[in-house]
Amino acid sequence: MLRRGNKLGKESLQAVAKKSTALSGPYFLARVQFGGTKSRFAVVVSKKVSPLAVNRNKVRRAVYRALRECLTALPQPTSGIFTLSKAVLDAPYEAILLEVKRVLRVH
């Protein structure tokens, strides 16, 4: 999980969603806004992805883990909202990490 300071709160979600760029991949739709004062992220998993909370939380934790690994390598402060799709349920962690790195432009 990310630290509380790196999580995007409910009040900031709409602001980031309006000013961000949408980038899609096989596992999620990412709305990313480069620049700002601090890197903050939110991961959204709908009940349409999985009706079981256990599965939704498992994939949410995997994406937060990938974000935590990329956090120090970000070239500039970035805010983002990751909306997960059904394909992420069967994806290995390494594939999720590569996709997060691609979206955040971390090499």
- What is the b/e burial string over 66-102, where b = at least 16 CB atoms within 10 angstroms of the residue's CB? bbeebbeeeeeebbbbbbbbeebeebeeebbbebbee
**Which residue ranges form the domains of the chain, and what is each CATH number?**
4-104 (3.30.230.10)
* Average pLDDT over every residue of 67-94: 94
Q: At 50, is the pLDDT very low, low, confident or very high (cuts 50, 70, 90)?
A: very high
* Average pLDDT over every residue of 59-64: 96
Report pTM.
0.92
* Average pLDDT over every residue of 35-43: 91
Q: In sequence order, what DSSP letters do the residues of 64-82 get, joined into one string?
A: HHHHHHHHTT-SS-EEEEE
Who's near 22: CB < 8 A, 6+ residues apart? 29, 30, 31
What is the pLDDT at residue 51? 96
For the chain, give the mean pLDDT.
Answer: 92
